[in-house]
A and B are shown apart, each in its own frame.
Chain A
Amino acid sequence: MTQRPYLSVQFEDSHLSDLMLRSQGGDQESYFQLLNLCQEMLLKFIRRKLGEIDSLDDVLQEVVLAVHSKRHTYDSNRSFKSWLFAIAHYKVMDYFRAYYKSKEREVTYSSDRSFENDLAELGISSFEQFEFEQDLAEAMKHLNDKQRIIVDLVKIKGHTINEAAEIVGLSETNVKVQIHRAIKEMRNSLEERP
C-alpha cells in the first residue's frame, strides 16, 4: 500500500513549526529542509487552485519568496500550516487578479495593429464572436475582482460552485450570491450600452 506523503511525521505541524523556529534563529539547514517540505505542500495546493497551468512554477516561486520575506511574522503559538496556506492563498488570489487584468488588456482592441492579427491572437474566428467576446469583457469590467474571478471560474471555465468556493475561499452561499449580483451587474451594463 502506498503511504500518503502528507501523513508522514515530517509534514506534521509541530515538526514544521520547529523547523521554522530554528530557521528564524538562523539555522540554514533547517530552513532548506523546511522550504523543501513547503514546496511539496504548496505545489499540491496551487495545483488544486489553478489546475495544470504553464505558470505553475512561477506562482510557486512567488509563494516561496513571500514565505521567505514574511518569515518573521510566524508566531510559534499558532499552526504553521495555517500561516503558510494563508500566504499561499493570498498569492494565488494575486495571480488571479493579475491574470484577469491582463486578459482585459488583451481583449481591448488596439487600432495600431491589424484587425486579423488581433482576432487570430485571441483565437477568434469571426467578427460576431469577436463582438461577443468584447461585450463580455466590457461587461466584466464592471465587476469587482472577486466577482470577476467567480464568474470566470463558474460560468466560463465550468467549475462547480463548490470548487469555486474552495478556490476563492468563500462559502458556497456567498459564491452564489456573488454570481447573482455579477450577472445582474453585467446585464445592466450591457443594457446601458447604445
Chain B
Amino acid sequence: MSTQNLIKELSQKMQPVKSLPSPWVRASLWLFSTFLCIGSSVFLLGLRHDINQIIFSANFLFQTFIIILLAAFSVVGAFFLSIPGKPKTWVNVSFLFPLGILIFALLGQVGWNIYQSGSAPVLGQGYYCSRDVLVLGIIPGLLLTLMVKKAAPINFGLVGVLIFLATFSLAALGVNLICHGTDPFHLLIWHITPVILIGGIGRLLGRFFLKW
C-alpha cells in the first residue's frame, strides 16, 4: 500500500479522540488510587502496634514526607516523559533530591547509632519486609505502567526507573506502617534498599514492557 493510500484510509476511518489529561492530573489520579490501594492493604494486614506513638514522632513524619515526595516527583516525571517531545526539565531528575535526602538521613542515623553504641548494626531477619514491599507494589505498579503506556514513552530506561521508584516507595511507606522496626539500619536495608534495587531493575526492564 502506498503512503498516500494509507493516509486516505486512516483519515476515512479516523474517530474522534479525547486528548490525554495533563501529567499533573494523571499523577494526582494515580497517587490517589495508590493511597487507597496500599492504605486498604495496610489496614487488612494490620497496623503496627505502636502506631499511636510513632505517628507523632518527628523522625517518622519526616521519613513519610520524604517518601511521598519521592513518589510524587517520580510519578510526575514518568508522566512528563511519556509525552513525545516534552523538553527535558527539572521533573526528570527531581526524584534524585528526595531519594538522596532519604538515604543520607538514614545513613546518618545508622552512623550516629554506631557511634553511640560502639557496636556494628545487626542485619536481622527483615526479608519479609522486602517481600511486603514487593507485594504491596504490584497493583499500583501495573496501574501506573498501563497509564504510562497509554501515552507514548520514549526514554524507556528512565521511565522504567521512575515507575518502579514511585510504586515501590509508596509500598515501602505502607510497610513502614505495618512493620514495628524502628532501627534505621533495618529501615535502610529491608525497606529502602529494595526500592532502589527495584528502581535499577526498572531501567533494564523498561524497554521490554514500555515498548509501543
Contact with A along B1-17 (1 / 0, CB 8 A): 11110111011101111
Residues of A within 8 A of B4 (CB): 39
Residues 24-48 of A at the B interface (beta carbon under 8 Å)? 24-26, 28-29, 31-32, 35-36, 39
A72 partner, pick from B6, B17, B22, B212, beta carbons under 8 A: B17
B11 partner, pick from A31, A73, A83, beta carbons under 8 A: A31
> Is there an interface contact between B84 and A35, defined as CB atoms closer than 8 Å?
no
Residues 87-113 of A at the B interface (beta carbon under 8 Å)? 87, 89-90
Residues 64-102 of A at the B interface (beta carbon under 8 Å)? 64-66, 68-76, 78-79, 82-87, 89-90
Provide the bound-state CA to CA distance between A75 and B11, in Å: 20
Q: Is A23 an interface residue (CB 8 A)?
A: yes
Given contacts A78-B86, A87-B152, A90-B154, contact A61 B19 (CB under 8 A): no
Main SS class of interface, B: loop
Known A24-B16, A66-B212, A82-B87; further 20 A-B contacts with Cβ < 8 A: A23-B14, A24-B17, A24-B18, A24-B19, A25-B16, A26-B15, A28-B12, A36-B7, A39-B3, A61-B3, A61-B6, A64-B7, A73-B84, A76-B19, A85-B85, A86-B84, A87-B85, A87-B152, A90-B84, A90-B154
Instruction: Mark A residues whose CB is within 8 Å of B.
Output: 23-26, 28-29, 31-32, 35-36, 39, 57, 60-61, 64-66, 68-76, 78-79, 82-87, 89-90
Residues of A within 8 A of B91 (CB): none
Provide the bound-state CA to CA distance between A29 and B12, in Å: 9
Provide the bound-state CA to CA distance between A61 and B83, in Å: 21
Instruction: Mark B residues whose CB is within 8 Å of A.
Output: 1-4, 6-8, 10-12, 14-20, 22, 82-87, 151-152, 154, 212
Residues of B within 8 A of A61 (CB): 1, 3, 6
Closest CB-CB distance, B15 to chain A, in whole Å?
7
Given contacts A32-B8, A61-B3, contact A86 B14 (CB under 8 A): no
Residues of A within 8 A of B3 (CB): 39, 57, 60-61, 64
Provide the bound-state CA to CA distance between A109 and B12, in Å: 47
Given contacts A61-B6, A87-B152, A90-B154, contact A73 B83 (CB under 8 A): yes
Residues of B within 8 A of A28 (CB): 11-12, 14
Closest CB-CB distance, A153 to chain B, in whole Å?
20
> Is there an interface contact between A35 and B154, defined as CB atoms closer than 8 Å?
no
Provide the bound-state CA to CA distance between A24 and B15, in Å: 8
A75 partner, pick from B12, B17, B22, B212, beta carbons under 8 A: B22
Closest CB-CB distance, B79 to chain A, in whole Å?
11
Provide the bound-state CA to CA distance between A84 and B154, in Å: 13
Closest CB-CB distance, A1 to chain B, in whole Å?
29
> Is there an interface contact between A83 and B84, defined as CB atoms closer than 8 Å?
yes
